[in-house]
Amino acid sequence: MTQDSSPAAPILINAAFDAGNIEVLAVDGARATLAIRRDNQSEFAQWFHFRVSGVAGRELDLAITGLNTSAYPDGWPGYSACVSEDRQEWTRAASDFDRGRDGGTLHIRHRPEGDQVWFAYFAPYSLERHNDLVSEAAASPGVAHRVLGLTLDGRSIDCLTLGTGARQVWLYARQHPGETMAEWWMEGALEMLTDPADPHGRALRQACTFHIVPNCNPDGSARGHLRTNAVGVNLNREWHEPSTERSPEVLAIRNAMDETGVDFAIDVHGDEAIPAVFLAGFEGIPGLTPEQLAGYQRYRAILDRRTPDFQVRRGYPESRPGQGNLAMSTNQVAERFGAVAMTLEMPFKDNADLPDPVHGWSAERSKLLARDCLAALWEWLQTGPA
């Protein structure tokens, strides 16, 4: 039995899959009124991911409502939904946001060529792809895999270790699971570091030992959450006192860091509202040293010079001296280890300085940015204090 895709037949919308999230409020032919399901035991809501079937040749008219009370309502103006028919290439669908309609509505219009089409807040990164990424990297020469611990839903917290150098470098992503660009960045980083022909990868493996956690929050990823784990906890507010009951993911990662020490760290994220790539540092930590701050500022300047996809004009305000929140990973890691640590933010919208009207900010650009970040790390190692 096949679904009727005649002009009068109602479209079928489904999100019962890995990272799926949508609530169907009403369907009328090719029109639908939708809402985003909140993270479990949490008020956070922003991530959506769903499939629409029975759509061949039809002009879809989708309204995602109630967005004025979403986690980041300023993320909707200027945003266009991601769309794909093959789940390989994700482009942007025509979208506009109306604060005055049904509590804030993202209106999406799209005419697919085939019988089904997928929409998402950003190009999804499935747990299956995560498992493929970890397995392929772990099979590469010189790469070791270990499970740092288990999540509340019983999923593994995967860590890949490679390199023989004295510098201890930690790269970790998706504390906030809906920020899928972060794991696309990780894919680009691992491809570079495991490529025996890549000169930066080879040099960095000699200079550093890398500890890479591609997905810190697999429970939230599978559940279709924006920002929290299985019990509604924002992991990036747990780094001062993580617990087995609330945040075993952070506890496992921080314990592993205690074993190795940390010299340099990047916590990879995405930002809903700011249309730019930027870094956030640790200026407000109590134990800040001039050398530590200079190291961060020097890395930021190198990255700014290396890639036009990075900039230093837009970003978060710096914390006042001594006021840094040690429950956040970048501040905790910088304070705890004296490390040069940073939060890398990529946009859900696009890079306003270098826009791509077809794809917006994309999985591909996230992967390329990872290569620039690692090349900048190599230059940073060469030009800094011995």
pLDDT of the residue at 15: 98
Half-sphere exposure of 365 (CA within 13 A, CB side): 26
pLDDT of the residue at 8: 77
Nearest one of 269, 175, 159, 266 to 217, comparing CA atoms? 175
Cα separation, 236 vs 179, whole angstroms:
13
Q: Which amino acid is at 278?
A: F
Cα separation, 170 vs 138, whole angstroms:
17
| Beta-ladder partners of 34 | 24, 64
pLDDT of the residue at 1: 44
35 by DSSP, 3-state: which? strand
- List, in sequence order, the alpha helices (H) in the chain: 127-138, 181-193, 199-207, 218-223, 248-260, 290-306, 329-337, 363-383
Write the DSSP symbol of residue 73: G
Q: Which residues of the chain have pLDDT under 50?
A: 1
Q: How far is CA 34 from the centre of its chain?
A: 24
Strands laid side by side in the 12-14 sheet: 12-14, 49-53, 116-120, 82-84, 91-92
83 by DSSP, 3-state: which? strand
Return the HEC string of 249-303.
Answer: HHHHHHHHHHHHCCCEEEEEEEECCCCCCEEECCCCCCCCCHHHHHHHHHHHHHH
Half-sphere exposure of 227 (CA within 13 A, CB side): 19
Catalytic residues: 345
pLDDT of the residue at 4: 60
